Amino acid sequence: MSKNFKIKDNKKTKQKKFEASNIKIGTAIVSAFVVLVLICGLAVSGLGEWVDNNYNKPAATPTPVVDNTVIEFGDENLEKFIKDKLKVKEDHVTVNHVKSITNGLHINTLTEIKSFKGLEMFPSMTAFSVSDAKILDFSALADAKLLTNINLYDCDISEATSQKENKYLTDIYIEGTLPNATLFSTFSTVKFVETRKVGIKDLSGFGGMPGLTNLDLFDEDELESFEGIAAIEKLSTVALGGSKIKGFGGVKNAKALTSITADDTEIKSVAALKDCATLKLLHITNSKLDNPSDIGKIKTLTELNIEKLNEGKVDTSFIDDLSDLEVVSVNGISMSSLSVLKNKPNLKLVYAADCGLTNINGIRDAVNLETLDISNNNISLTTALNKLSKLKYLDISDNNIRNLNDIKDIITLMYLDVSGNKDITKLNNLDSMWLLEELYANDCSINSIDIGECTSLMTLSLKGNKISYVEDIARLGALTTINIADNEVTELPSFESLSSLSSLYASGNNISDISALEKATTLTALDLNNNKITDGSKLKYLVKLTKLDIGSNSIKDISFVSSLTKLTTFNAENNGISNIDKLSTITSLQNVDLSDNELESIKALEKLTKMESLDVASNKIADITPLLNKTYLKKLDLTSNMVTEVATLSSCTALKELKMKNNQVTNFEPLKNLSLTVKEIDGQTSDNE
């Protein structure tokens, strides 16, 4: 058969013939209609009117459906809450009032709820939450057909009842009091249950939830037994953080269980888990096992996390027996090598930070490895990484590595962290890493960089080195974030080609000329703190800035800020500024630091109603009336000024932290109604946080 031979599509042929036939028929009808018009003497001018009246009428706008069915509530306080929440002025709440509520209803002002009757009438509600209430009856929720999620925060449901079967709920989150889970035995469709400190003593109560697949029980310090787990037939995932469970008795018959997380527990034995034929994931961290070697008998494991098990003193030889491992975390476990990871071809993720490692040869043949974290060890040679051709994420920070020669050929890397290796002086040999998107080389001893070929880089962090020349960065057009803080940079790179750059952190350098920033018009965050800048005029072009830090420079004129109308955070401390008039129009400002300047007036702040934090310490301010009615203001520092009265501050009702030592105030009575958690004023100091 010829490669170009095509089977004829009879359906398409018939369709085309059918369409052609329709066109002919349609043409004939139109022709006949025109003849009829001429014969009957119908004016051609009237033809258009006839067509308009019969065929060109605009589609009718659908009338909004209004359902004025009155909702009958089973608790008058709940009804009042809903009326107040929705600002209902009528005598009754109707379905039309509540139709827009989907998942944002939070009932937070009631101390007791007798019944949820009424909520089943909310036509669009899929989720709601309650906090700080005693709940007596859940049965009405059985008729809420769209409701799938409920969240209960610090609620007491110890006396609650639910007689009806609920076939709609799938997710439940509970904080508060629930000593017995049998309350939910009629909730047949629930799949996910998460509790936190509700007082559960055993798992048997969950046995009546045939659909339950995920059970997360956090800080249940009264839970002492794993018995009853088998009764939850479909349970696949269980988390037991902070419980007093000592072992896993009863797990043998849990036929669907695939994942157990037991962090910060009192578990002493995992011996029973060897009989759990479906178990794939085991996280048992910050705990103390009598015999950790029993883990090696759980042959089905593909993921193991024993971080800080037995305070890091564990004989990890049992890992040799787990040949199917794909993910392993031994963070904080004392071990000199990774020999236990030999002959594990399925390994994809390895976390071995803070182990005291000196040798990593054990992973030399882990050819499928994609993620490796061996940070904070004593590794000096990384030749074992050469063959890891699928490695994407590599963290070798805080070791004893001198250069990057050993990893230069890992062309698959997308994330690399070499921070804290004090002997690295050059950032080079990365030419092959054209897929690299994130590079961190903070706090090394780097004095030169050659990374111009890493053209996929989006995040570059070189903080705390000895770099003076950064022009190479100008070639990295995909960059979104640059951090060159605390170096020896004197000149910024060209930003003309960095069209995606949103954040630049360059504090703690020797920069005096910032004219290059004129082209960095995509920036939203800029930190130039602690440099040698005197002229900030070029910053006026950065109209997308939301965060700007020019503190500890010598920029006395900040008139450029009038162009920065999107600023929310502005720091200009320690600059010798005496005039801040141009700030008056930046009404978006929320956090402002103008401390250690020469200010005598803060009138420009009068219209900045959204301010949440203001620091004007160490100035010459006497009048603080511009702060009147700053109802969003939470933090205020007026230390070392010339303030004489504080009556204005009584209107700052959200104020929590006030610092104003070294002023001239004698009467602090106006502050008495403020709920201050931090107060530092002459003669009075408190910190109630």
CA-CA distances (angstroms) from residue 67 to 48, 70, 71, 627, 656? 42, 9, 11, 48, 46
Per the rule left: phi > 0, alpha: psi between -120 and 50, beta: everything else, 680 is: beta
DSSP state of 61: P
Q: Per-residue pLDDT tens for 574-633?
A: 999 999 999 999 999 999 999 999 999 999 999 999 999 999 999 999 999 999 999 999
DSSP state of 531: S
Distance from C-alpha of 569 to C-alpha of 588, rounded to nearest angstrom: 9
The residues, any chain, with a CB within 8 Å of residue 483's CB and separated by 6 or more, are 442, 460, 461, 462, 463, 505
Strand partners, 549: 527, 571
DSSP state of 122: -
Distance from C-alpha of 617 to C-alpha of 573, rounded to nearest angstrom: 9
Low-confidence ranges of the chain (pLDDT < 70): 1-66, 163, 179, 683-689
Number of neighbouring beta carbons within 10 Å of residue 674? 17
pLDDT the model gives residue 199: 86
Domains of the chain are 66-143 (3.80.10.10), 590-687 (3.80.10.10)
Question: Cβ(318)–Cβ(293) under 8 Å?
Answer: yes
- Class of residue 474 by CB neighbours under 10 A (exposed 0-12, middle 13-18, buried 19+): middle
> pTM, whole model, 2 decimals?
0.83
Number of neighbouring beta carbons within 10 Å of residue 289? 18
Question: Cβ(544)–Cβ(566) under 8 Å?
Answer: yes
Q: Report which residue type is found at 451.
A: I
The residues, any chain, with a CB within 8 Å of residue 40's CB and separated by 6 or more, are none
Q: What are phi and psi of 35, to 5 degrees?
A: -60, -45
pLDDT the model gives residue 31: 46
Distance from C-alpha of 645 to C-alpha of 668, rounded to nearest angstrom: 8
Q: What are phi and psi of 312, to 5 degrees?
A: 85, 0
* Token pair belonging to 671: 């502050």
How far is CA 591 from its chain centroid?
A: 22
Number of neighbouring beta carbons within 10 Å of residue 456? 16
Number of neighbouring beta carbons within 10 Å of residue 631? 12
* Mean pLDDT, the chain, whole residue set: 88
**Helix or strand run (H / E) with residue 52:** helix 44-54
> Which of 340, 285, 350, 339 is closest to 312 using CA atoms?
285
